[in-house]
């Protein structure tokens, strides 16, 4: 199995629990890359998960929502770049849309065929949606002992 075919990893928790540190550690490996935070999956889910087949007419709305739901206005990727990438890959399902976005970022950063992951603490409330879109996903839930803060 190539690295890019590994199951996506979602790092969730409550805020200030160490997810950014874990992201940095995982990004130092040569297997996975986790971009900046995004809750695109949770925000777009109600609109696109049950749609039977997405097409090119859906892409502009999807990309606008991704830019709004992701740090650095869509991780710094231009909408033109993403739209061209979408036209080339032609994602038809919500799962394919997510995979296409994350793969586009990996490619834009010159990271080869690394597997991708998402880190956003608020996704803890969307684990059901994550598993609905990616049944093979790996969830890393960090629990921080509140006494550590005292």
Tens of pLDDT, residue by residue over 32-67, are: 999 999 999 999 999 999 999 999 999 999 999 999
Q: Read off the pLDDT of each residue in 97-119 and give the average, rounded to a whole number.
A: 94
pTM of the predicted model, to two decimals? 0.88
Q: What is the pLDDT of residue 147?
A: 74
Q: What is the pLDDT of residue 17?
A: 83
Angle at 35 between CA 143 and CA 22, to 5 degrees: 30
- Domain span including residue 133: 3-148
Q: Read off the pLDDT of each residue in 136-149 and give the average, rounded to a whole number.
A: 84
136 pLDDT higher than 60: yes
Structurally, how many domains does the chain consist of?
A: 1
Q: Copy the structure tokens of residue 140.
A: 């890393």
Residues 20 and 124: their CA atoms lie apart, in Å, by: 15
Angle at 10 between CA 102 and CA 6, to 5 degrees: 65
Integer angstrom CA distances of residue 18 from 14, 23, 100, 119, 126: 9, 9, 28, 11, 19
The pLDDT-based confidence of 2 (bands split at 50, 70, 90) is very low
The pLDDT-based confidence of 150 (bands split at 50, 70, 90) is low
Residues 45 and 68: their CA atoms lie apart, in Å, by: 14
Q: Read off the pLDDT of each residue in 120-126 and give the average, rounded to a whole number.
A: 90
Residue 61 DSSP label: H
C-alpha dihedral sign at 2, 88, 54, 33: positive
3 pLDDT higher than 60: no
**Nearest residue to 43 via CA among 9, 72, 67:** 67
């Amino acid at each position: 199995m190539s690295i890019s075919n590994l199951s996506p990893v979602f790092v969730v928790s409550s805020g200030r629990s160490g997810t950014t540190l874990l992201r940095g550690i995982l990004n130092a490996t040569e297997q996975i890359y986790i971009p900046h935070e995004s809750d695109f999956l949770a925000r777009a889910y109600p609109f696109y998960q049950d749609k039977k087949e997405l097409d090119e007419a859906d892409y502009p709305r999807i990309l606008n929502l991704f830019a709004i739901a992701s740090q650095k206005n869509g991780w710094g990727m231009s909408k033109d770049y993403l739209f061209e990438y979408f036209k080339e890959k032609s994602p038809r399902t919500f799962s394919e849309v997510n995979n296409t976005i994350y793969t586009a970022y990996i490619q834009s950063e010159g990271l080869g065929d690394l597997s991708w992951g998402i880190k956003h603490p608020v996704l803890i409330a969307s684990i059901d949606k994550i598993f609905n879109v990616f049944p093979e996903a790996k969830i890393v839930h960090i629990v921080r002992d509140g006494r550590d803060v005292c």
